[in-house]
Amino acid sequence: MNRFHFRRADSKKVVAVLLLALCFTSFTSSAYAQKKLNVVTTLTDLKSIALAVGGDRVDVTTIATGYQNPHFVDPKPSFIMKMTRADVFVTIGLDLELGWVPPLLNSARNPDILKGSAGYVDASENIPLLQIPVSISREQGDIHIYGNPHYWLDPQNGKIIARNILDGLVRRQPESRDYFNANYNAFVDELDRKMAEWAAAMAPYRGRRLIAYHNQWPYLETALGFVVLDFLEPKPGIPPTPSQLAKIIGLMKRESVHTLIISPYFRVDSAELVARNVDGSVVILASSVEAFPEVKTYFDLFDYNVARLKEAFQTATH
């Protein structure tokens, strides 16, 4: 064997190693592109929008159910496990989940999803908030201290939420930017089409007045054109008192208002008591996706509420 043969053998080895390395690199990069992002959302509404934008490149789990009061969720240990494995965490923000998100984030100790890191998505960013208080009054029991946090109930805000989620997904998986962008655009187009449909359905009832249990509908009022006159809760988070119920009965009689709206997670007895006194009816609206079995997506949420409000306004004489 001369040195020439050795060299030939060496160069063959080098080529083989290079080919192997090339195969390995392309295999790992394609595997990485197909890796699903693990997304955890606080609410089902965020889950529905995250699925719309993330498509088949995300696995989404949610913490609160759609029929649970989002202000008060028990931070169970099983949620911590979900957050430990998350690539992206999406929260409504403001003070909505103040009692349960900070303890979950602290316990999960996942640096990828801590506030300020690439995987943390505050869905309230750029949302035009309603009812921002001039002074903070939490000591009086008010649980909407930064403005009304139920902003997902205006589909216009659904687009902003989708944009915030899009940005978070792209930060965590930039190679899927075009795919996520296309999904986001399709979601916004469909929302525009449906918003025109909902507005048309509600147009005959524009300005119709009603009473609500909790102050959680101002964004839906904006979207659908009805007016909430007052609330069974004297302040957000404070259960109805006899004097508040008496005040509401007087108001409904005086103003000839016959409809009360309530979320599925509140006790219905005080609303029914008022309804009996004013010859009115109680309408249980979906305040989140999955509030009822047929409300499976963010689009269903508005389809459902538009249908219930139409029924209520058609049967009420005023």
| Cβ nearer to Zn ion, comparing 216 with 288 | 216
Q: In angstroms, what is the minimal distance from the CB of 174 to Zn ion?
A: 36
DSSP 161: H
Element (H, E) at 247: helix 242-255
Least distance CB 210 / Zn ion (angstroms): 17
Query: In this structure, what DSSP letter does residue 36 have?
Result: P
Q: Which C-beta is closer to Zn ion: that of 59 or that of 95?
A: 95
Cα–chain center distance at 10: 60
| CA angle centred on 44, ends 36 and 162, rounded to 5° | 65
Q: Which stretch binds Zn ion (CB under 5 A): 18-26, 199-207, 215-223, 226-234?
A: 215-223
- What gap in Å lies between CA 291 and CA 283, rounded to an integer? 14
Asked if 248 contacts 261 with a C-beta cutoff of 8 angstroms, the reply is no
Q: Tokens 């007052």: give the residue.
A: 230
Range in contact with Zn ion (rule: CB under 5 A) among 177-185, 213-221, 223-231, 238-246: 213-221
Which of these segments, 17-25, 43-51, 212-220, 285-293, binds Zn ion (CB under 5 A)?
Answer: 212-220
Helix (H/G/I), strand (E/B), else coil: 210: strand
Cβ 69 to Zn ion shortest distance, Å: 8
Q: Which is nearer to Zn ion, 157 or 216 (CB)?
A: 216
How many residues in the shown chain lie near Zn ion by CB under 5 A? 1
| Nearest CB to Zn ion, comparing residues 43 and 88 | 43
CB of 137 to Zn ion, least distance (A): 14
Q: What is the rounded CA–CA span in Å between residue 183 and residue 267?
A: 39
Shortest reach from residue 214's CB to Zn ion, in Å? 6
What residues line the site for Zn ion (CB under 5 A)? 216
